[in-house]
Amino acid sequence: MATIDAIGASASGSSAGTSAFSALSSEDFTKIILQELSRQDPLQPSDTSTLIQQLSGLRSIQSDMDLGDKLQDLVRQNEFASATTLLGTRVTGRSIDNVDVEGVVKSVVRSSYGAVVTLEDSTRMLVSDIDQIVRPEPEDQA
């Protein structure tokens, strides 16, 4: 069980260990089980179902974490794509400096806080802090 405990400790102890555990293939999983079985005392065999259950639980947790990360990335990409539709649009809300602002969106950038729009006066605001979006009226073609 020492081999398994070391993997479990590194998986919960650091992100590098977590990444290494997520890279564990089915073949590696089988090798670990066979290695554990070959080291057990034939007169007092260990419970392999417990070993398999523990490894399965760890893989399930890692899978859930990976799914959460991918969903978070998808949300960020969606927010950025939505923010690009604001280019040239008048918005109101709170700036990054926590001041009420209003202006036309000049650019959109991605940051660690999410999508950030820059107004024509160089004021920056998070997309999540926009209170109102005012689309320009279409000009008559006549």
Task: Tell me the per-residue pLDDT of 96-109, one tens digit each, with 9 for 90 and over.
Answer: 999 999 999 999 99
pLDDT score recorded for residue 100:
94
pLDDT for 11 beyond 50: no
Read off the pLDDT of each residue in 102-123 and give the average, rounded to a whole number.
93
3 or 86, which is more confident? 86
- Out of 1.10.3470, 1.10.287, 2.30.30, 2.60.120, which CATH number does the structure's domain 85-134 have? 2.30.30
Read off the pLDDT of each residue in 34-42 and give the average, rounded to a whole number.
75
Return d(Cα 99, Cα 1) in angstroms, integer. Answer: 58
pLDDT score recorded for residue 90:
94
pLDDT score recorded for residue 8:
43
- For the chain, state the CA radius of gyration: 26
Q: How far is CA 35 from CA 11, 23, 39, 42, in A?
A: 19, 19, 6, 14
- Which residues of the chain are in CATH 2.30.30 domains? 85-134
Amino acid type, 43: L
- Among 15-29, 58-72, 85-99, 114-128, which is the least confidently predicted range? 15-29
Q: How far is CA 22 from the centre of its chain?
A: 15
pLDDT score recorded for residue 70:
93
Q: How far is CA 111 from the centre of its chain?
A: 14
Return d(Cα 9, Cα 86) in angstroms, integer. Answer: 47
DSSP 136: P
Read off the pLDDT of each residue in 121-137 and give the average, rounded to a whole number.
90
Return d(Cα 61, Cα 56) in angstroms, integer. Answer: 9
Q: How would residue 53 be classed by pLDDT, with cut points 50, 70 and 90?
A: confident
Predicted confidence (pLDDT) per residue in 56-86, tens digit: 887 888 888 889 999 999 998 999 998 999 9
pLDDT score recorded for residue 19:
57
Return d(Cα 49, Cα 23) in angstroms, integer. Answer: 22
CB contact at 8 A, 33 and 51: yes
